[in-house]
Structures are given as structure tokens and as C-alpha cells.
A and B are shown apart, each in its own frame.
Chain A
Amino acid sequence: MKYIGTGMTSLTNRQLAAGKGTFVADYKPEGMLHMAVLRSPYASARIRSIDTKAAEQMPGVVYVITGQEVAANMNPIFEAYDTAAMGAKGVKWYALVPERVRFVGECVAAVVAEDKWTARAAADAIEVDYEELQPVTDPEKAMEPGAPLVEPEWGDNILVTRDFRSGDPDKAFAEADGTISGVVKQHRYTGAAIEPRAYLANYDPYQDLLTFHASTQNPHPMRVFLAETLGIPETSIRVIQPHVGGGFGLKIPTFQEEPLLAYLARKLQRPIRFVAERTEDLLAGGHAREERLYYEVAYKKDGTVTGLRAKVIADVGAPSALCGWGQSFVTSYCIPTCYKIPNNRVQLFSVVTNKCPWNAYRGYGKEAASFMMDRIMDNVARETGLDRAEVRLRNYIQPHEFPYSQVSGAMLDSGDYPKALRKVLDMIDYENFPAMQAAARKEGRYLGIGIGQELTPEGCSMPRSTLLGGWDGCTVRVNPSGQVTILTGVTSPGSGNETAIAQIVADELGVSIDHIKVIQGDTDTCPYGLGNYSSRSIIMGGSAAKVAANELREKMLKVASKLLEVAPDDVDAEDDKFFLKGAPTRFVTFKEVASTVYRDCHGKAAFDVEPGLEATRYFKHPNVYHQPDTQGRFSSYPSWPNQAVAIIVEVDPETGKFKIVRYCAVHDSGVVINPLLAEANLHGGFVQGIGGAAFEHLVYDESGQLLTTTFMDYTCPTAVDVPSFEVAHQETPSPFTPLGTKGVGESGVTGPLGGLCSAIENALADRNVRLTELPLTPSRVWEAISAAQGGNR
């Protein structure tokens, strides 16, 4: 059988469904200690002094550490994203803050104790004398002259700016039939993995080896970061990633707790574990998304958009070593997404404030660009009187126009946006919706339909990055008994890429998947690789596996052909056999060929092949351009999956509450290896997208206190709050990868943002409601209805 294209359940199901997975918190080595962290209660403050006496005297406390010791003995945390290479400002961020705290939740001191309760109680007994400083918590206020500075030595609060231009926007606006200006506001939210951040550090002084079990997405980069931050050799560290209970980008290094725990384990020479509490993760586990996008568009009365000026203002929180701020760059990079607008100016202002730093979160800034373009297309439709779908169809980049270079330098690989939109409109019966809407209205029900268009570039590759690279490695090993071991440089946060990679290798070698074992997430056994992010595990990891398996296939075909006494070109492989093409009854088994290579390398059949059946190969994506052009632009995303969604909602205009009646999506991530797991991934993306669009919100007050520190306040939807999803795939293969894959992991989070705004406005079309800001909570929708009615209710 062929495996690629087959929707099979994950190879990890048996273990995980039985509750027999192994997560960091399941490891309890003998003599294990626990670390608890004392966090800053202030958004901005100077540390005058720290008194650790009371904590040190508590029974069971082993060690208390503050920022002074950290700064004297460790380097600043190595940057996940090379700020200098990106023309951005950086900071020296230590594992514990020695002098000045810049957000509530920043690590100030830590306690190591015999049990976790003692560690917590002792951390709380540390007395810190703070001098409170004026915080800045609004990005536009932070841009004003005289604003309090998050980093005084910077001179301002701007981390990076970008300014991309194409064509002649001024001329386009002068010659337009009409112009529209507006803003869309995306609020601060984040991913909420079931498993919080968790690490276990264990140092063996006799081997000089620190074994670091981490709920991480990137074992090899993490080893680099730990080595550089601690100033020790990479070879003295082994990072192991056990099962991970959700990542979504937020388990990408580098957090303060990681090098801190590694340092303490080496110093105390005892195993130490840190498992974050939910509140700690909400405070300091990485935030994302908070952006305001101001726009002006010029259009012709036929609905063609001829000019766009966009200004992105991103509140990336306090500067850190985390890679999250890059999301603001990616928002500006994606504009104007899948639309062909000849004249553009796109500006980015990435602004720091006294809030939690961003870390990567599924979507990575792409969602905001698509959200803004969806709002723009709906507004152009309203002003021109054209249908919302028609306006999109008139502005799409056409399938024959790829590769297509956008204003930012982004090089879009391929796609068929009109076909996907038409298909999803068919699925939801867009044509007959007005009749359905009118019938419902007669019963007093307010139905609306909306369109969301998502463009989710993947395979992120940034210049000089330790973390973000457009390549990865894979080892495929055929064992003497004919079983196959795959070792990957990519990792799985629970999303199933191990299964898809096994499917790719199974097809390439013609071996049944039952004979394959996949090993991931261990720097001592797996080939060097960059782990999991940017939907790269199949794009990069799957391609590397394909290339490595192909090398073994060629070798085994050669041996098989000798055994069959035919030419290698006449032999094919499938179902654990090498057989003569056209005469499948003439075969040798896969096992026999493997055995021949290992056991008979001086014999006739294997005489002229190299012994062993193991190949490590690396795949580098060809659609990346790092040589900057005259505007300083470069192309960092090689793969461009996309999706059209159509959503029907029912709105209660009295309360502002809505429910999703139907949710249809047509997704194009190129060739799909495993449709079942791809769809499962999409379902998760849709729920996170709906969560972001309507429920989840990290709310700060003006003093920089986070008000949403538990799931009671940080409202996540659950299965009962979301609809059933109807998904269809469209396959526009990537021209650049061996299998045509494009990556699916991040997709799904974007469609609900514009799609729900569009649907709610449509339901309330006769009231002329305008939605520009997320989340779409009942009170916000109600306020928009009130505002449309002149505020009189």
C-alpha cells in the first residue's frame, strides 16, 4: 500500500490515550529538588535590596539565589532571534534580574528546596525592597516624546521599524475612485497549552554532563542557548524532550527559568525540577498578538484596490531574549497577503512596553495581516456596493502569477486563491444564503454570513538565526532484521508529525509502517535540527526524511536487483518487497535485502555497495533569499499555505452574543501526507482562532498589572462552545519541496478573526454595525450596535 495521502491515526495514540505518555513532571529522579521563582509584582521598578534570610532559614530550603549571583556567574540569555542581524535593538536579559524589573512576572529570585511547597513558601518569604518607577503600558503612548522608557539606554521605546514601498501610492490615491481609512485592533492573547512549561535539570560531575529534560519545541537550539548562557561546552549538555502537552510556539526557548535551572543543577549537583503554575505561565510564559493596524486604501469603482498605506504598531511587551517580537515583523512582511495591490507603503513600529514579552504563538503575526486585509475587502465591498466575495476575487493574485513578490520582499510560492474561495462558497451555499437569512429574520433570528481569507507563510528562515532556519536533518536506518529507525531533527508537540514522517519513509522504502520506529527530541541521538515551529516539521523534516530514505532505497534497489539478477531500473519497492516491475511475483523481501547488506557485504549482491544502511541527509528549502535588495528586503518564508473560510453566525442583538451556526473551510497546504491529522490540526487552529476572536484576552490595567491570571478570567472556549467544522482540502503543490508539501501546523487561527467580524456585521447589516476591534465579546458587539444607533439604548 501507499501511505502518503492516507488518513491514519497517530503512532503515539496507543501510549498517550492510555495515559502512559511521559512528561517532564512524570520524572522523579532520586534526590530531586524543586525550584520556585519569586516574580516581580511591579511593571517597572528598581531593586534597592533583597533580604533572603527568612527564606534561607526555612527547614527544607537548600539554596536561595538572586540576580547578583546570576549576573556574576552567567552570561545574559542568548537571543533566540538575532536582534543585530535584524536591525533591531537588544537587551542584556539575565536569568534573574539584577537591578531593574520591567514587567509583572519577571524572575527576581529563586529558591531550591526539598519539596515544592517549601520552595514556594520560601520564595514568598524573600523580601525585596523596590523603588517603583513609572511604567508605560500603551504602545502609542510609549511612542510619544517624554514617555517613560522601558530601556533608558535606548533613548526611545522603539525596538525596530520597517518601511516597505512598491509602486507609487501617492499617485494611486490621487487617481482613485474612492478611498477608505480605518484601523483594526488585535488584542493581547496567547496559547494555553494543557501542560505548562516544565524542566528537569540533572548534572553528573563525573561525566561533566548536564541532562536537561524540557517541555520544549527545540532541543538542539536549546542546547546552544544553554551552553552560551552558562558559558559551558555544548557537548556537556544533553537536552531531552519527552512528550509535550502542547506548544503552539510558546515552548520555544529562551525563558529565564531554563538557564537558571541549568545553573542551579550544576552548582548544587542535584536534580532539580521546575514546573510552572498556570498563573506563572499567564504572567510570564509569553504573550502575543497586541497590534493596531492603521490603513488607507485607494480603490476603483470596479472593486480593484490600487493602493494601500498600512502602519503596524505592535506592543511587543518588554524586550527579552525570546523570539516573540519577530511576530510584529512578520505582520508587516505579510501585508497585503494574497492580494495584488500595485502601490503600497507598509510601515512597522515595534514598540516595547512594561508588559510580558511576546513569545511565538501559532499565527506568528501573519493572522493580523490577513485580518486587516479581510476588513479592507469587506469595506471596499460596502463602499462599492459589490459582493464581498467578488471584491476578493477581483483582487487576488492569480494562479499563473507565481512566484509572486510582495512589497515586503516576500516570495509567494504558489496557490489558487480564487478556486479555494469558490469552493468554500459552494460548501456553505453562499448563493442561497440571502433567502435563508430573510426566512430566519421573519422568525426574529439574525443570521449573517462572513468570509475569512487566511494566508499563513511557513518554514521561517531568518538570517543568522540559531533557531529559525529553512532546513533540517533526518537519519534513516534500516536494521539487519529489516526494521527501520527514523531519527529526526524536528520534534512533535503532540501534533503527529512523527506519523507523517513515518508514512513518507514507508512509501520511499516500500516498507510497512508497522516496521518503523521514530525517535525525536534527543540531542545525543537525533541529528542536529531546529525542532518544531512555523509548520516546518513536514516541510523541512519530511523532506529531509524523504531524501535520506531515497538514498537507502537506491542502495537497496541495487542489491535487490543483483539478488533478482535484473537491472536496478527494473525493480520497484512496495509492501516489504523488492520486485520486478510488471512481474511482482519475482521478488526478494525487504528483510532479505537488509540482511544481505549487513551479513554478506563481501558477497556477490552487496559487493559494490558501502556497508551499512544508514543515511543522514539535510534538506534546505530553495525558496529563501537572504541577500538584501536595495530596500533591505529579503525573503524569509518559503512556503505559503492558505485557506478560505465561510462562517454563518446567529447574533442576539439584545445582548451582543453570537453563536456559530456553520463553519466551512477550504485549506490548501500543498500535498497532504496525512489528511486525518492535518484536519485534526486544523480543528485545533479553528478553536484557537475562535478563542482569539471572541474569548481570550490578556488584560492589563494602566499600572501594568495583569488582571487575567487564571482560567476563570482568561476565558478559553471548550468543545461545547465551538461548532462542528466542515473542512475540504485543495492541493496546490509547492514547486520547491520533494513532495509538494507546504506545512499545516499553524493554519486555522486566522480565518475566524475577519470571518466572524464579517458574519456579525452581515447579520446586523440593516443596523450598519462596524467591528474594528477584537475580541468580539458580547459587550463589545453590544457596544458596536449601540454606537451604530447613535449610542441610544
Chain B
Amino acid sequence: MISREYEFHAPKTLNEALSLLEKSGGNAKLIAGGMSLVPMMTLGLAHPDAVISLNKVPGLDGVKEDGGVLAIGAMTRHHVLKTNPLIAQHAPLLAEAAKYVGDVQVRHRGTLGGVLVHADPAADYLPVCLALGAQIKLQSAKGVRTVEARDFFKDIMTTSIEDGEILVEVRVPKLPAGSGSSYQRLHRVEGNYAIVNAAAVVEPGKKKGRVALGGVGPTPVMIDVSAHIASGVSDDALRRVSDAAFAAAENAYGDLNGDAKYKQAMARVYAQRVVRAAAAQAQ
């Protein structure tokens, strides 16, 4: 139950939202789908003085082509990512990841931007955005800046977003034709967060590839596996990928789903699985 009073604003323009954010002096929270913020408030883990909804701000959702890049509005709902033809064609990893988020109701409320700023270490989009080389576009009253996804996540539920900034767009380079990609996750029940998740991209020609892992530390980690697969995606190559994933998961920590050792071992398993699957798809 949310027993503390707070102000609620539903601005109709981005500028209005930015100025409300500015005025709040850091004690406001932006709300998109509310799938993370509302539970945090209910449990008393977040108690903002003001909640600013982005739901009435036009132009923050949808998937557009911008040359070699997909420009995805921060307010794009999971259901759209799961079903949008441009996503399916140019960034199928996002659609794969969207399938796993919550349940039908959550997928119609929750948003891409919301997941990224919440930055739960096991969230589905985090390794996907790293593997896709996504850029995060942030806007404040002062202007716009763009951060590489791999630099965006700083710690558990901590990002490089600053007071007064709104995540407005995620820019995802289109995968070249002939690429292979795979997203897989280990979870206990449908709809829950992953224990460990992994996203891989193998480029056309199968000489270059990368894999990103979530749930194996405070932030997602990415490994360039090109050196391992350059001479073919053999069992031996996959073993080296596994070893690299194991090493990259050195900051894994235990929780109710398993201890650090288990998480690290799962990094090994899932890195191998997604690289194998992505390589099988690549031409």
C-alpha cells in the first residue's frame, strides 16, 4: 500500500515534463508503465514527493527507421517490441527478449525505457542492448546527450542518467543481413526475472561475434568472442567462449536463486548456448 502522499503530474509535452523534473529538485520520479516504480512505492522502497507521468507526452513511443539505425521511443511497450515488423527484421533479439517480460498485462503497460532506467541486473533488455550496440538518448533542459549502452549501467539499479534527464530514445543499429542472434535465459517460473540471461550476435561470415550476459554481476557484461570463433564455431571454440564468460562473471553474487558459484557456472552454460544458436543462424 502506498500510504505516503505525493503529487501526480501528467504533462502533455516533453518540455513541460522536463521543467517539472527540474523544479522537483531530485525528489520526483518519472513513471512510464509503472511496472517497477509502483511496486517499489508499494513496498516503501521508493517514496518520491512527485510522480511525473510520461504517458500523455506525444512522440515518445514507436519504432522508426533512421538510416542504418532503428530509433525506438522510450515509451514503446514490450508488446510492440514483441510484434513490430521492423524489430523482427533488424533487431530480433529485442523481440525475443520482450516475450519473456512479465505477463500479457505487464507487456502492454511496461516500456523499454522503463526497464533500462530501472536497471535490474537480470532484466531482459540489458544484455540485448549491449549485444546490439545500442545507444541511449537522454534529454534534459540543457540539451541531448547519447550514451553507449555498455557505459550506461553503473551498478545494481544505477545508471549514468542524471537528475533532470529523461531517457527519450534507444538507438539500435540494424543487424547486417546474414547475422545470427540468440537470446536465452534461465528462469524458475514464466514471468519472473531471469536468474541468468545471455544475448549473442554473430556477424555474417561467422568470424566475429559478441555475447552479453545479465544476472552475473551488478551490471551486464559483454565479451567479444571474435578471437574464439575466428577459425570456426567448433566445440573447442565454444569451450573458450564458456571460459571467457566464466571469467567475465567474476562479480556474480548469490541470491535466493543460487549462490555466486552457480551464477558463474550458468554464465558458462548460457554463453555457449547463445553463441552456438547465433552461429547456426548466421550465414
Report which A residues bind B (CB closer than 8 A): 116-118, 120-121, 124, 277, 279, 654-655, 657, 695, 697, 699, 707-708, 710, 712-713, 715-718, 720-721, 777-779, 782-783, 793
- Do A121 and B4 touch (CB < 8 A)? yes
Q: Which residues of A contact B258 (CB under 8 A)?
A: 777-779, 782
18 A–B contacts from the bound complex (CB under 8 Å): A120-B1, A121-B4, A279-B43, A707-B256, A710-B39, A712-B39, A712-B192, A712-B193, A717-B189, A718-B189, A718-B191, A720-B190, A779-B257, A779-B258, A779-B262, A782-B258, A782-B265, A783-B262
**How far, in whole Å, are A156 and B262 apart by their CA atoms in the complex?**
39
Besides A120-B1, A277-B1, A715-B192, 13 new A-B residue pairs in contact (Cβ under 8 A), listed by A number: A116-B1, A120-B3, A655-B186, A655-B269, A699-B256, A710-B39, A718-B189, A778-B188, A778-B258, A779-B257, A779-B259, A782-B262, A782-B265
Q: Which residues of B contact A697 (CB under 8 A)?
A: 256
How many residues of B sit at the interface, in one of the four size bands?
Answer: 20 to 34
Q: C-beta contact mask, B190-227 vs A, less than 8 Å → 1, else 0?
A: 11110100000000000000000000000000000000
**Given A120-B3, A124-B3, A710-B43, A695:B189 Cβ within 8 A:** yes
Q: Which 9 A-B pairs have the closest CB atoms?
A: A779-B258, A120-B3, A121-B3, A779-B262, A720-B190, A654-B269, A117-B3, A721-B189, A120-B1
Q: Which residues of B contact A116 (CB under 8 A)?
A: 1
Q: Which residues of B contact A793 (CB under 8 A)?
A: 265
A-B contact count (CB 8 A): 58
Q: Which residues of B contact A277 (CB under 8 A)?
A: 1
Q: Which residues of B contact A782 (CB under 8 A)?
A: 258, 262, 265
Secondary structure dominating the interface of B: loop
* CB nearest to B270 among chain A residues: A655
**How far, in whole Å, are A742 and B4 apart by their CA atoms in the complex?**
52
- Do B188 and A777 touch (CB < 8 A)? yes
Query: How far, in Å, is B211 (CB) from chain A's closest CB?
Result: 16
- Do A657 and B2 touch (CB < 8 A)? no
Q: Which residues of B contact A720 (CB under 8 A)?
A: 190
* CB nearest to B4 among chain A residues: A121
B266 touches A (CB below 8 Å): yes
- Do A695 and B188 touch (CB < 8 A)? yes
Q: Which residues of A contact B189 (CB under 8 A)?
A: 695, 715-718, 721
- Do A715 and B188 touch (CB < 8 A)? yes
Query: How far, in Å, is B264 (CB) from chain A's closest CB?
Result: 10
* CB nearest to B257 among chain A residues: A779
Q: C-beta contact mask, B28-58 vs A, less than 8 Å → 1, else 0?
A: 0000000000010001000000000000000
Q: Which residues of A contact B266 (CB under 8 A)?
A: 655
* CB nearest to A716 among chain B residues: B189
Q: Which residues of A contact B186 (CB under 8 A)?
A: 655, 657, 778
**How far, in whole Å, are A712 and B40 apart by their CA atoms in the complex?**
12
Residue in contact with B256 in the complex, picked from A713, A716, A717, CB distance below 8 Å? A713
Q: C-beta contact mask, B176-196 vs A, less than 8 Å → 1, else 0?
A: 000000000010111111010
Query: How far, in Å, is B279 (CB) from chain A's closest CB?
Result: 18
Query: How far, in Å, is A479 (CB) from chain B's closest CB?
Result: 46
Most A C-beta atoms less than 10 A away, residue of B3, B39, B43: B3
Q: C-beta contact mask, B225-236 vs A, less than 8 Å → 1, else 0?
A: 000000000000
Q: C-beta contact mask, B1-24 vs A, less than 8 Å → 1, else 0?
A: 111100000000000000000000
**Given A716-B189, A721-B190, A777:B43 Cβ within 8 A:** no
Q: Which residues of A contact B3 (CB under 8 A)?
A: 117-118, 120-121, 124
**How far, in whole Å, are A712 and B269 apart by their CA atoms in the complex?**
25
**How far, in whole Å, are A670 and B266 apart by their CA atoms in the complex?**
48
Query: How far, in Å, is A102 (CB) from chain B's closest CB?
Result: 24
**How far, in whole Å, are A124 and B43 apart by their CA atoms in the complex?**
13
Q: Which residues of A contact B188 (CB under 8 A)?
A: 695, 715, 777-778
Q: Which residues of B contact A710 (CB under 8 A)?
A: 39, 43
